[in-house]
Structure 1
Amino acid sequence: MDTRYVGIAELADVPSVAVVIDVMRAFTVAAWAFARGAERIVLAESLDEALALKTRHPDWVAIKDGPPAPGFDTVNSPGMLRSMDLRGRTVVQKTTAGTVGALAVKDASLVLCAAFAVAEATARLLRSRACDTVTFVVTGEGGRAEEDLACAQYIALRAAEGTPAAAADQAAPFLRRAAASRAAEELATGVREGVHPDDVPLCLELDRFPFAMVASWDAGVMTLRAGEVPGAGAGDV
């Protein structure tokens, strides 16, 4: 499998297969939303669009980065989301990097959104599709976010043919890189707003869930859905 790692601004063409990475915190949050029962996640292009969707669909759950704001139900924090009951609900998510990255590759034939929480399932899906070339979109810090790059490289390793089965042993150096990242420090020290004390540990949980998250253009919006992948491990929710 040929791989390339690019920032959002470096996407000069439409990739065939794109894996969009946002570990801290968009796609860890998305994974938790599905684990809490969400049916789908609509990735909004702007805060205004997210609020407009919420206005048209009051039963939808709207999420944004940063501190709480009028019109939004919660913030982009896995620690806060994990206590919510989202069974059968549609979630609208707008973040600084993750949702932007997914929308930037909306015309790709396959778009996956990922974090460490769904790494193995994502890798297995790539392997099952026999993807020859995969573009990993490193969304944070203009493509330089260490936690996103580490996650992307780990998924690529797991997706490669003949990769050994000891995922936890392989993951250790990648998780250490993520734990030492600028994003982890900013979350842990309160530089970023809308943070739960458990956010960093939750973002560093490996293979918590057995599903991969596939995004597609559906009725004028980018929609993320979860699908279980046979053989992918998961912890207890």
Structure 2
Amino acid sequence: MDARFLGIPELAEAPSVAVVIDVMRAYTVAAWAFAQGAEKIVLAESLDDALALKARHPDWVALKDGPPAPGFDAVNSPGLLRSVDLGGRTVVQKTTAGTVGALAVKEASLVLCAGFVVAEATARILRSRGCDSVTFVVTGEDGRADEDLACAQYIARRTTETTTDATGFLRRAGASRAATELTEGVRRGAHPDDVALCLELDRFRFAMVATLEDELMVLRPHDVPSPTGTAAA
């Protein structure tokens, strides 16, 4: 498999297959939202767009980066979201980098959104579809965020080498700038458990696929058959 690792500014054209990585915290949060029962996640272009969607659909749950804000129901923190019942709900998500990365590749034939919590399921989709060329979008720090790059490199390696060990990749992510800022309380709208939750390898057995639906970029969980043929949960 030909794997490319690009930051959002380096995306000159839509790739055929894209894996958008945001470990801390957009796609860890998205995975937790699905685990808490969310039906789908709408990836918003801007904060204003998120609020406009919320205004049209008052039952939707709007979340954003940073501290709580009027009009938003939640913040982009897995530690805070894991206790919220989202059964059957639609979530509107707007973050600094993760949602931006997915929207930048919305014309790709396959868009997967991932973090360590869904790494194996993501690699399994790439293996099952025989993807020859995959662009990993490293969303943080214009492509330099080591937690995102480590996760992207791990998934890429895992796609072709199923015995790849995650220890070194997780160590890099844990020593990243984002992890340090979350641990030290630099980033607002966070929970003390956020870093640990973002580094929980394969916590969930589903992958997350984003597609255009009525001009909105919509993320949904995707069950991936396990090697033994048992459906993922």
On whether the aligned pair clears a TM of 0.5, the verdict is: yes
What amino acid is aligned across from residue 121 of structure 1 in structure 2? A
TM-score normalised according to structure 1 size:
0.95
Structure 2 alignment gaps of length 5 or more: none
Q: Find out whether 1:134 has 2:134 as its counterpart.
A: yes
Q: Distance in 2 between matches of 1:4 and 1:192?
A: 29
Query: What CA RMSD, in Å, does the superposition of the two structures yield over aligned residues?
Result: 1.3
TM-score (norm 2): 0.96
What are the Cα deviations for residues 101-120 of structure 1, in whole angstroms up to 9, with x where unaligned?
Answer: 00000000000000000000
* Counterpart AA for 2:223: E
1:164, CA displacement in angstroms? 3.7
Amino acid at match of 2:202: D
Aligned residues: 229
2:99 corresponding residue in structure 1: 99
User: What amino acid is the match of 1:227?
Assistant: H
Q: Supply the AA of the counterpart residue of 1:194.
A: G
Q: Give runs of aligned pairs for residues 156-235 of structure 1, distance below 5 A.
A: 156-160=156-160, 163-165=161-163, 170-231=165-226
Shift of 1:14: 1.2
- Report matched runs for 1:1-237 at 5 Å: 1-160=1-160, 163-165=161-163, 170-231=165-226
Distance 1:181 1:60, change over 3 A: same
Q: Secondary structure at the match of 1:120?
A: helix
Deviations 1:74-116 (A, max 9, x none): 1000000000000100000000000000000000000000000
Amino acid at match of 1:135: T
Identity %: 76
Query: Partners of 1:104 and 1:78 in 2: how far apart?
Result: 24
Q: C-alpha distance in 1, partners of 2:35/2:23?
A: 16
Unaligned stretches of 5+ in structure 1?
Answer: none
